[in-house]
Structure 1
Amino acid sequence: MDPIAHTLVGAALAETGLKRLSRYATATLIIGANLPDIDIVAMFWSFDHSLYYRRGWTHGVLALLLLPLLLVGAIGLWHRWRGRRVQSDESFRPGALLALAFLAICTHPFLDWLNTYGVRLLMPFDERWFYGDTLFIVDPWLWLLAAAGVVIACSKSWPSILAWLLLAVAITVLMFETEFATREVRIVWLVAVAVMVALRWRMTSQAATVTVARFSVALLMLYIGVVYGMARTAENIAAERHPTPIAAQSNPVFGRPSSQRLVLVYDDHYRVIRADGGLYEVPRKTPDAIVEQAMASESIKGFVEWMRFPYWQVKETPDSFVISFWDLRYQGPDEPERGIGFVEVELPKKMFRRECRESAIVFDICLKLLPGPS
């Protein structure tokens, strides 16, 4: 999921009453909910390196054990640096912080697993990708449900109220500008924001804010469960209406959890069913020498490691081969490019001429070494 979702989930957990368990509990939950994304530094190298390294080591089972210890250790050092001894400060409880850190860090790969991007949960022992195929990578309803308790609890002063209003306006502008949001999605968003504002003015006591936070977290878990069921139902219905596939995969649509774009996998082709009901098929092929050479390119190493339903086309120019790769989870050759799930590699023909010459030389040497007829 996106950083906003992770941050709001950590903050929402704090407002359910968990922040009372220890000093720095809120900071631990918010930092822990985002900590596995330290691998985002790979983005500064290149987008392809990000695909290769992201959602791996820092999201796997070993990280779930080590990161809570590192986080609580860092908070303990901060606590000491501020001049307060752990032994004399009863509000600082390392054991409680460790439990909260573990909880917060576990929410991160769980939320990442829910979308179609995938996460390598068994790293570093196994590099397999796991997919929940439940939520769009940016889910506005998850934002709202997680934010409900946080907004009510953390808007007690005019500066905080102004900050939340500015954030709400900024996200609303994005909702209205993005091509993914339909008119219905925008209307529901505005109504939901209005309800949250009304709750803020009605709920003023501390007990009420804790109740709202707990209720919102419960609704969030219910929402995830319902959408998960919708996605699996869509896959089953597609498998019944079409020739029985090897696999069926649901791709949720932004803001519309009841709508999915589906990929059906067969032995020799893929069938893609768009959310609007449109359908197209592309062949499922075995890579030839040109495609294998392209897939071995360092420039798309991460993409090849990450892609799930690969499809490619080869175009020949006078001096090169241009190989286009699509990951059908996100787009295909008959769909508009979305900025993810598509790469191109250009291979000069002279590379293949050199390889052919070298192969011919080796073949000629082998013929000379063979014994002649007796």
Structure 2
Amino acid sequence: MDTATHLMMGVTLGGLATLDPVIAQSAVGPQAVMLATIVGSNIPDIDTVLKLRNNAKYIRNHRGITHSIPAVLLWSFLISVLAYAFFPAGPYAHLLLWSFIAVFLHVFVDIFNAYGTQALRPFTRKWVALGVINTFDSVIFLIHTAAVILVFLGTERGFTCMAAYLITLLYYIGRFIMRQNVESIVRKKFTNVEQVLISPTYRFYHYHLAIVTDKYYYVARSNRGNIMVHDKFERVPLPDNPVIEAARKDQNISAFLSFSPVYRWDIFDFGDHYEVRFIDLRYRSKDYYPFVAIVQLNQNLEIVSSYTGWIFSEEKLRRKLELLPG
């Protein structure tokens, strides 16, 4: 989920918390819990600062340890202590409870988009990505924004925010049913389907699809139940050779491979250097696959340059990293 929506949900959660009689009866309870829910609804994304280091660190760690089970508990404790420090007369136990709800809700809603989280760490590093909601969903954002506006206009805060969450829940259920329907259609249309990776869009009935069968990768889209295939790639295992072995030692390549569940690869031999490319098939945009990892190695298989991230043209990629000409 995007930062703006997390922020609005933090505000409405703080409003919902006023239905807690202990919070409502405390002189500073509503202010303390509002601070806790706003901070708690955003704190797991503190790992965004890793982008300042490099894309590899960001891709490998974003929504990783900061969204794990131990982190949820730690964030809850730290935020409740912070809120109590600002409002020492507040009811601490209930601040801790609502801090936990805020942090848990952040991680919980994040698993419903295509990016997902490693929410089950330390038990598994598997990415949990249900592909139900787009990273920014305008409907959810507008529901909670409308609730905040109504509260400012004078409606009862607790019940208005409760209504926002009930409507959001119904919306999630509807989107989940639609997602299951899309997957059902895909499995009937294609044979020997092993995995269906679904990426919702901002349009209610439109989904991007990466379909894995026993022999092929299909890149497609679903619009009102109609499946349209854009590309079909033969499923070729990653070879076990010295070039690939050397490429996988690069931090950008290893970060990409740790994150991407479905990709195609290419090895180019330009005589004086090798180039290895990995292309994530989930994020097709206007006939282009922008999420890539690339590494160039000299004839001694030493890494010359590499990159991973989002790029929308060959020219920009080579200009950005000053790569050797292909």
Tell me the TM-score normalised to structure 2 length: 0.82
Match of 1:335 in 2: 287
Q: 2:294 aligned with 1:344, yes or no? A: yes
Q: Which amino acid aligns with 2:259?
A: W
Indicate conservation of the 8 Å contact 2:60/2:259, yes or no. yes
* Residue of 104, 112, 118 corresponding to 2:110: 112
Once residues 17 and 346 of structure 1 are traced to their aligned partners in structure 2, the CA distance between those partners, rounded to angstroms, is 54
Once residues 279 and 299 of structure 1 are traced to their aligned partners in structure 2, the CA distance between those partners, rounded to angstroms, is 28
Q: Per-residue displacement from partner, 1:160-188 (whole Å, max 9, x unpaired)?
A: xxxxxxxxxxxxxxxxxxxxxxxxxxxxx
Shift of 1:25: 0.9
Q: 2:260 aligned with 1:310, yes or no? A: no
Q: Per-residue displacement from partner, 1:60-110 (whole Å, max 9, x unpaired)?
A: 11112221111111222334xxxxxx4xx3xx1001101100100001111
Once residues 59 and 268 of structure 2 are traced to their aligned partners in structure 1, the CA distance between those partners, rounded to angstroms, is 25
Q: 2:11 aligned with 1:63, yes or no? A: no
* Residue of 205, 210, 226 corresponding to 2:154: 205
Match of 1:358 in 2: none
Q: 2:50 aligned with 1:42, yes or no? A: yes
After TM superposition, the structure 1 stretch with the greater mean CA deviation from structure 2, 269-278 or 220-229, is: 269-278
Once residues 106 and 250 of structure 2 are traced to their aligned partners in structure 1, the CA distance between those partners, rounded to angstroms, is 32
User: Aligned in 2, Cα 1:75/1:136: closer, same or farther, shift over 3 Å?
Assistant: same
SS of 1:153's partner is helix
User: Aligned in 2, Cα 1:99/1:132: closer, same or farther, shift over 3 Å?
Assistant: same
Q: Which amino acid aligns with 2:273?
A: S
Q: Which amino acid aligns with 2:206?
A: S
Indicate conservation of the 8 Å contact 1:19/1:25, yes or no. no
* Residue of 248, 252, 258 corresponding to 1:295: 248
Q: Per-residue displacement from partner, 1:29-58 (whole Å, max 9, x unpaired)?
A: 110011111222211111111011111111
Pairing of 1:231-250 with structure 2 (within 5 A):
231-250=179-198
* Residue of 176, 183, 186 corresponding to 1:228: 176
User: Aligned in 2, Cα 1:133/1:219: closer, same or farther, shift over 3 Å?
Assistant: same
Shift of 1:17: 4.8
Pairing of 1:179-198 with structure 2 (within 5 A):
none
Once residues 252 and 155 of structure 2 are traced to their aligned partners in structure 1, the CA distance between those partners, rounded to angstroms, is 54
> What is the count of residue pairs matched by the alignment?
288
Q: Which amino acid aligns with 1:319?
A: D
Shift of 1:147: 1.3
Rg (Cα) greater in structure: 1
Once residues 52 and 79 of structure 2 are traced to their aligned partners in structure 1, the CA distance between those partners, rounded to angstroms, is 24
User: Aligned in 2, Cα 1:222/1:116: closer, same or farther, shift over 3 Å?
Assistant: same
Indicate conservation of the 8 Å contact 2:55/2:252, yes or no. no
Once residues 267 and 18 of structure 2 are traced to their aligned partners in structure 1, the CA distance between those partners, rounded to angstroms, is 56
* Residue of 96, 99, 122 corresponding to 1:98: 96
More strand by share: 2
Q: 2:39 aligned with 1:31, yes or no? A: yes
Q: Which amino acid aligns with 2:36?
A: T
Indicate conservation of the 8 Å contact 1:10/1:33, yes or no. yes
What percent identity do the matched residue pairs reach?
23
Q: 2:215 aligned with 1:268, yes or no? A: yes
CA RMSD of aligned residues (A): 2.1
Indicate conservation of the 8 Å contact 1:272/1:279, yes or no. yes
Tell me the TM-score normalised to structure 1 length: 0.72
* Residue of 237, 240, 255 corresponding to 1:286: 237
Match of 1:172 in 2: none
Indicate conservation of the 8 Å contact 1:116/1:132, yes or no. yes
Structure 2 unpaired stretches of 5+: 24-28, 303-326
More helix by share: 1
Match of 2:132 in 1: 134
After TM superposition, the structure 1 stretch with the greater mean CA deviation from structure 2, 103-112 or 20-29, is: 20-29
Q: Per-residue displacement from partner, 1:118-171 (whole Å, max 9, x unpaired)?
A: 2111223421111111111121111111211112224xxxxxxxxxxxxxxxxx
Once residues 185 and 66 of structure 2 are traced to their aligned partners in structure 1, the CA distance between those partners, rounded to angstroms, is 36
Shift of 1:303: 1.6
Match of 1:152 in 2: 150
Moved segments of 4+, more than 4 Å = none
Q: Which amino acid aligns with 1:346?
A: Q
After TM superposition, the structure 1 stretch with the greater mean CA deviation from structure 2, 53-62 or 257-266, is: 257-266
